[in-house]
Amino acid sequence: MIARGRKTILRGLPAAPGLTLGEARVVYSLEQTIEERVITPDQVEHELMRLDMAVAESLTELESLKESASRKISGPVARIFESQFMIADDREFLKNVKAEIASQLKAAEYIYSLMVEKAVAPLRASRDQYMRQMVVDIEAVSNRILRRLTGQAARHIGQAPQESIFVGKIFSPAEVMNLYERKVRAIVTTAGGVNSHMALIARSLLIPTVVGIPQAHLKIMSGDRLIVDGDKGTVTINPSLDEWNQVRKKKARVTALQILKLDKLPDFPPRTADNIDIDVAANYDVPGPIDRILADHKVGIGLYRTEFIYLQNGRFPSEDDQYRLYNSVAKVHYPRPVTIRTFDLGSDKYHPSDSNMKENNPALGWRGIRASFDMPNVFKDQVKAILRASKRGNVKMLLPMIADITELRKAGRIIRHAMAELRKSNLPFDRNIQIGIMIEVPSAAVAADILAEKVSFFSIGSNDLTQYTLAADRDNQKLAKIFNPLHPAVLRLIRMTIEAAQKNNIPVAVCGEMSGDILSIPLLIGMGISQLSMNPSRLYNACRLIPKIKYSDAVKIAKEVSRLKTLKEIEGFLLNYNMSVE
Ligand code: PEP
Ligand code: MG
């Protein structure tokens, strides 16, 4: 138990970026009391009717949530409510519930909850995060129906004060939408992963979110003052007055909505103090309110993570569906470049229906381009869709997890085949489309000179490059101190990659989280990076920092850092420089 008033820092997983502060509002799960009520045979008809009504009313609610979600969030994320709708409307399940009500002669809510529990028990035991996500969806639906049957009220989020920080065991996607309406400042949960539906929605709606803090909903109390850092995944309870004021004063850093301030920037793209243009772009995960903002501010897309399209429903969209999606993004951003990465599935990015994707070491397993090679039709459909969307000339294709030249050649053959098919069908595409690879597997960085001869550009995935170089799982909180792209070994690989790119006259971007990190930006510029592609929430700060940096100083920094031997020395050195320009 936390002594009230004492400062405590809780650590979880950063699910949606942004730094904010406010008062906590803890929402406890409403445990529904379901009575085992016995009924008489002549009451059966009435119970069945009550069940039908509860389901019908819930379906109406879900329908309107579905509509309002599709107005606000567009694309696959909005389909979360579609799947909840389908769960609620499972006719086969309802038929079985009705049969049990009639045979056991028990009240509708009792039989319904019993049968839901039986259905979710095996899913609950699963270690698979998507199975667990399914439990969350099923429980959200069954609670909705049971509340109708028992007459017990829903959690009173709708009446909660505006602009609070909401803390709970878990929130359903519908509740996150509701919190958004209440101008929630941040969300903190005990359960949930960064790829949960809730986290995806929070990211799309720009709500700073930290998930996976052990017992967050018990450790935090309503009324506690909190600082939530959605980038670091930390929550500070009762911070000192100094810290509180610091965060409050630094208004520019206070929220992910900083992206809305992009038009306050004097220059985009930004220039260094000595007038060198720095190419800054955004990473694109799920469609949301930021799309328009990015397009309006003429920010290109340096990394479009297409795997999220698949993860939303476990289905690969057809070539035509993908074409429509990619084409609309390419059109909105035209003439800015849009770099579309082919599916990077595997590791933690898989769907429950993919039973063949479960492996002992998933990050070292069937992932990225390797998985695409084993699904040749899926890969070719995607390549064709990306090619078709390139017809205006502003689309680039990016291949994930390439480990060596053999894989690159293999991908090249499939791409050429796809191009031949498009030509045959008279479908237009950019014949000079730039095709690049992610440098995120250490073997690719080590052999960057061989790879650079065969591609149009490199994009360094510092997240995976760090995890594989340092053998430190990027999602493991216990390794947070070890996992750091500023480690001298990771920087050596980045340096080798840049040198190989420069020798071959190809641009090299960084699209891992490091590219938006204020400490790393001067160093990366000095090392000779051509583009920084970052989470949209980090654009504003990055663009404010860059004009304060002298390119000539950045080059000196990079030289100095190359001589340092430990992470600590490098961080200390960069921190010092950073403070001098802030
Ligand atoms: C990376 O690994 O740095 C990267 C950008 O790819 P992702 O985070 O999607 O694995
Ligand atoms: Mg990666």
Domain ranges (residues) in the chain: 8-29+156-253, 41-150, 264-581
User: Does the Cβ of 440 fall within 6 Å of ligand 1?
Assistant: yes
Q: Find the 241 Cα to ligand 2 centroid distance in Å.
A: 39
Question: Which atom of ligand 1 is nearest to 400's Cα?
Answer: 6
Question: Which residue is catalytic, options 217, 333, 487, 511?
Answer: 511
User: Does the Cβ of 463 fall within 6 Å of ligand 1?
Assistant: yes
The values of phi and psi at residue 128, to 5°, are -75, 125
pLDDT at position 258: 60
Residue nearest to atom 4 of ligand 1 (CA): 461
Q: Find the 1 Cα to ligand 1 centroid distance in Å.
A: 37
Q: Find the 513 Cα to ligand 1 centroid distance in Å.
A: 8
* Token pair of 287 as six digits: 């469609």
Name the fold adopted by 264-581. Answer: TIM Barrel (3.20.20)
What is the distance, to the nearest Å, from the Cα of residue 532 to the centroid of all Cα atoms in its chain? Answer: 18
The span from the CA of 227 to the CA of 223, in Å, is: 13
pLDDT at position 252: 44
Strands 13-16, 209-211: pairing is antiparallel
Question: Which atom of ligand 1 is nearest to 344's Cα?
Answer: 9
User: Does the Cβ of 305 fall within 6 Å of ligand 1?
Assistant: yes
The span from the CA of 540 to the CA of 257, in Å, is: 10
Question: Which residue is catalytic, options 197, 217, 297, 333?
Answer: 197
Residue 156: active-site member: no
One-letter amino acid for residue 156 of the chain: H
User: Does the Cβ of 464 fall within 6 Å of ligand 1?
Assistant: yes
Test site for ligand 1: of 473, 511, 513, most ligand atoms within 8 A of the Cβ? 511
Cis peptide bond N-terminal to 269, omega within 30: yes
Residue nearest to atom 1 of ligand 1 (CA): 461
The span from the CA of 188 to the CA of 179, in Å, is: 12
Residue nearest to atom 9 of ligand 1 (CA): 305
pLDDT at position 127: 66
Q: Find the 100 Cα to ligand 2 centroid distance in Å.
A: 49
Segments in the chain below pLDDT 50: 1-2, 30-31, 251-256, 352
Test site for ligand 1: of 284, 308, 463, 483, most ligand atoms within 8 A of the Cβ? 463
Q: Find the 342 Cα to ligand 1 centroid distance in Å.
A: 12
41-150 homologous superfamily: PtsI, HPr-binding domain (1.10.274.10)
Alpha carbon separation from 188 to 134, 166, 203 (Å, rounded): 20, 6, 13
Same fold, 8-29+156-253 and 264-581: no
Question: Which atom of ligand 1 is nearest to 283's Cα?
Answer: 5
User: Does the Cβ of 288 fall within 6 Å of ligand 1?
Assistant: no
Q: Which residues contact 58 (CB under 8 A, 6 or more apart)?
A: 88, 141, 144, 145, 148
The span from the CA of 236 to the CA of 238, in Å, is: 6
Q: Find the 95 Cα to ligand 1 centroid distance in Å.
A: 45
Instruction: Tell whether pTM > 0.75.
Output: no
Q: Are 408 and 402 in contact (CB under 8 A)?
A: yes
Residue 543: active-site member: no
DSSP code per residue over 114-166: HHHHHHHHHHHT---HHHHHHHHHHHHHHHHHHHHHH-PPPPGGGGSPTT-EE
User: Does the Cβ of 385 fall within 6 Å of ligand 1?
Assistant: no
Return the CATH number of 8-29+156-253, one of 3.50.30.10, 3.40.1280.10, 3.40.190.10, 1.10.3720.10: 3.50.30.10
